[in-house]
Amino acid sequence: MPPDTAMTPIAEAALADLKTPPAAAAPPPAAASPKDGGNRRGGSVFVVDFHRDGNSAEHRTFGWSGQEESHVWSLGSESGLRLPPRLDGTPLTIEADFAIPTGRYGLRSAVVRVFANDRLIGSAAVIGWTRLRCDIPEGQIAPGEPINLRFEHPCFVRMDFMDLGHDDRPLGLCLYAVRIYPPWMKQAMERFSPKLVEGKLVQAPAPAPFGEPAEPALYRFGDADPGRSLLRQGWLRDPHGDAWADDRVCTADLPAPVRTGQYLARITLSPLYIRSFMAFQRINILLSGAVIGQYRIGVDTSLAIPLPPELSEPGGVLSFSFALPDGLPMHPFNPGQKPNFLSFLLDSIEILPLPQRHAALARIRDDDITPPGPIATSDRFLDETVDQLPDAIKAALGVEMAMILQHFESLGDNCSFGLAQRKGGCEVLGLLRFGNTPLKSLMIALDDEFRATSDKAELNLGLPDGPTGEYCLYADRYGIRWHTNVHGGTLDEATVFAQQTMRLGYLRRKFYEAMRAGRKIVTISRAEPRKHPIPLAFAGERELWEEKPERLRFAEVLPLFLRLNEYGTNTLLYLTRCSYNRRPGVVELLAPGVMRGYVDDFVILPDPNNGDHATWLRIAANAWLLDQGPNASFRKTAAS
């Protein structure tokens, strides 16, 4: 194909056999007038050629790698092309020739969605080399309006992460050509367009609207659990009956929901950890042979991963597989062991429905390969000192810092944000403001609606730092600890317990009142190291290890966001250490209702004279700006 065939006409003679023959007894046509020329069935082809000598560089806009000999790779979750304006509003067909990353470990498919001027025109699950066709209906693009094509490829892959080579790019589609022509020319394009060997032709329909999804379904995989029969290749039972991944590829087949909709798979697992030389496991998660997440995990966690609806049928099977390049043979540590190849313990997989009002969340993939791009960013007030910040914020926004801080409800996992509120002149009542609340414990408590906080039999009081230390209140059912600001020797234990349990019951009621009222910005972080048991201790390993906190991921906080929004319209702000060249204090809006803030250090001291809370004030001001601005539509839509 010529490298630049812009608007090349197809010869009428060459297509004569594809046209509808005239009626046998049709009378001769009358003399044509100038306007009759517009009724002739004609057309032209516009080609974007991704070869080294082609014209694609003129039309590529975002999401592309460098030029290669015969193609260009798209990168990450989406890429774009800008094509010349239409002369009229007649229908068009978009035809794209591309390949996808494939290889061992079951990597064989991907999902592709095509948008024209931000309207979805088709989506498909594809395998190998593909020719994908999508139709643009008549009138969708106005005459004179450029055509902006956007390709979504949520199943992008870093091949080195799967030990499938050394390519560290997040590869989406390998594009060879994109063609645009009138729909009636499809047969002609089959005849005159070059076609690669074993090419596949896919006509991509636009997805039908989703109904309300089905109820959640939870599958556990212990010896006594019914879910154990759903595990297929590559699993091992330990003496406790738990399921360990025991191969380079492990598979599980779960029932697909019976109704169409958008769903999440919440996968709870614990990786094998050997402190001396294996601090994490690379875990690649695939559905029907398409990558849906690539993670580097060193702690037990739950990951809520969107399931592309193109990869399963209602009432069919969800075919999960886990590609595990870092699994470790156990027999070298203990000659009595069988030659097992372990990587992680699978606790459960829960299939969760995603309500239609939160459908935008399904398009975010935040794994350990590439971060999701924000839809808005606020990076103001980053250079003022802690003493200058309140006045600078009041002058710019017309609001006192203390009033801004009142919009926030801290859920943990430590007291840093609560202390920042205090130092910023804001004392608010909060159930978990001065609690130590790991995310896993928080989810257990929310599922239970914190009922244990109203039952004295479920609570106990302790002095962890000695007789004169601070009393702490514990709810063992949740694994949550509350600071009391009361020290030993000031009051007797019975009085402290009675006061604190009464206070806790009151704060529980206030918490749910605030969640139902909505308009809260709820904060969550992962900051404090903790001690964990080592699942399998060999070669002199200790029985406990101290966690090095990992970056808090969107996939981990997504279930928390959905849970909180069952009560009212609340925004979730999760905090993570600075990365991706972000400065401390910057806040990003990732999707309607979900923000990510960056801190340089999670430590903040109670000393009011220590000005170590500047970053937290910056985060609060920037989050408040996003909540009042780009996030306002989320609040209006959710409230309605």
Rounded to whole angstroms, the Cα distance separating 93 from 135 reads 4
Verify that 423 and 455 share a domain, yes or no. yes
Higher pLDDT, 610 or 340: 610
Rounded to whole angstroms, the Cα distance separating 257 from 315 reads 6
Rounded to whole angstroms, the Cα distance separating 235 from 261 reads 30
Please state, for a pLDDT cut of 70, what percent of the chain lies above it. Answer: 84
Read off the pLDDT of each residue in 260-284 and give the average, rounded to a whole number. Answer: 87
Q: 173 vs 74, 102, 127, 313, 332, CA distance in Å?
A: 5, 11, 12, 24, 41
Verify that 273 and 393 share a domain, yes or no. no
Verify that 591 and 455 share a domain, yes or no. yes
Verify that 168 and 76 share a domain, yes or no. yes
Q: Rounded to two decimals, what is the model's pTM?
A: 0.86
Please report the sign of the dihedral spanned by the C-alpha atoms of residue 407, residue 412, residue 417, residue 418.
positive
- Average pLDDT of the chain is 85
Number of domains in the chain: 3
Read off the pLDDT of each residue in 580-584 and give the average, rounded to a whole number. Answer: 88
Q: Which of 154, 176, 203 marks a domain boundary?
A: 203
User: How many Cβ atoms are within 10 Å of 515's Cβ, its own excluded?
Assistant: 21
Q: Is the pLDDT of residue 35 over 60?
A: no
Domain residue limits at 461: 376-532+550-639
Model pLDDT, residue 101: 96
Higher pLDDT, 511 or 37: 511
DSSP string, 24-77: TTPPPPPPPPGGGGGGS---EEEEEE-STTSSGGGTEEESEEEE-SS-EEEETT
CB 510 within 8 A of CB 431: yes
Q: Is the pLDDT of residue 437 over 80?
A: yes
CB 245 within 8 A of CB 346: yes
Cβ neighbours of residue 319 closer than 8 Å, sequence gap 6 or more:
251, 253, 287, 288, 289
Verify that 350 and 382 share a domain, yes or no. no
Read off the pLDDT of each residue in 614-629 and give the average, rounded to a whole number. Answer: 95
DSSP string, 457-473: GGEEEE-TT-TTSEEEE
597 assigned to some structural domain = yes
Verify that 192 and 128 share a domain, yes or no. yes
Lookup: tokens for 595: 């923000």
Verify that 175 and 257 share a domain, yes or no. no
Rounded to whole angstroms, the Cα distance separating 161 from 325 reads 8
**CATH number for position 304:** 2.60.120.260
243 assigned to some structural domain = yes
Model pLDDT, residue 530: 61
- Mean pLDDT lowest for which of 22-36, 41-55, 474-488? 22-36
Model pLDDT, residue 538: 56
26 assigned to some structural domain = no
6 assigned to some structural domain = no
Verify that 172 and 77 share a domain, yes or no. yes
User: How many Cβ atoms are within 10 Å of 25's Cβ, its own excluded?
Assistant: 5
Q: Is the pLDDT of residue 194 over 80?
A: no
525 assigned to some structural domain = yes
Torsion of CA 100, 104, 106, 108, to 10 degrees: 20
Q: Is the pLDDT of residue 348 over 70?
A: yes
For the chain, helix, strand, coil in percent to 5 are: 20, 35, 45
3 assigned to some structural domain = no
Higher pLDDT, 606 or 71: 71
Verify that 278 and 151 share a domain, yes or no. no
Higher pLDDT, 200 or 135: 135
Torsion of CA 103, 104, 105, 108, to 10 degrees: 40
Verify that 314 and 422 share a domain, yes or no. no
Task: Residue count of the chain, please give it.
Answer: 640
Each residue's pLDDT tens digit, 214-259? 789 999 999 889 999 999 999 998 888 899 999 999 999 999 999 8
30 assigned to some structural domain = no
Q: Is the pLDDT of residue 498 over 60?
A: yes
Q: Which of 301, 333, 359 marks a domain boundary?
A: 359
Model pLDDT, residue 365: 93
Rounded to whole angstroms, the Cα distance separating 241 from 225 reads 10
Q: How confident is the model at residue 36 (pLDDT cuts 50, 70, 90)?
A: very low
Verify that 331 and 439 share a domain, yes or no. no
Rounded to whole angstroms, the Cα distance separating 430 from 506 reads 10
Of the candidates 535, 459, 460, the residue with the CA atom closest to the CA atom of residue 274: 535
Verify that 236 and 322 share a domain, yes or no. yes
Q: How far is CA 260 from the centre of its chain?
A: 20
Each residue's pLDDT tens digit, 499-528? 999 999 999 999 999 999 988 899 999 866
Residue type, 131: R
Read off the pLDDT of each residue in 59-78 and give the average, rounded to a whole number. Answer: 96
Q: Which of 147, 177, 203 marks a domain boundary?
A: 203
Rounded to whole angstroms, the Cα distance separating 252 from 230 reads 6
309 assigned to some structural domain = yes
Q: What phi and psi, each to the nearest 5 degrees, are found at residue 588?
A: -120, 140
Model pLDDT, residue 370: 87
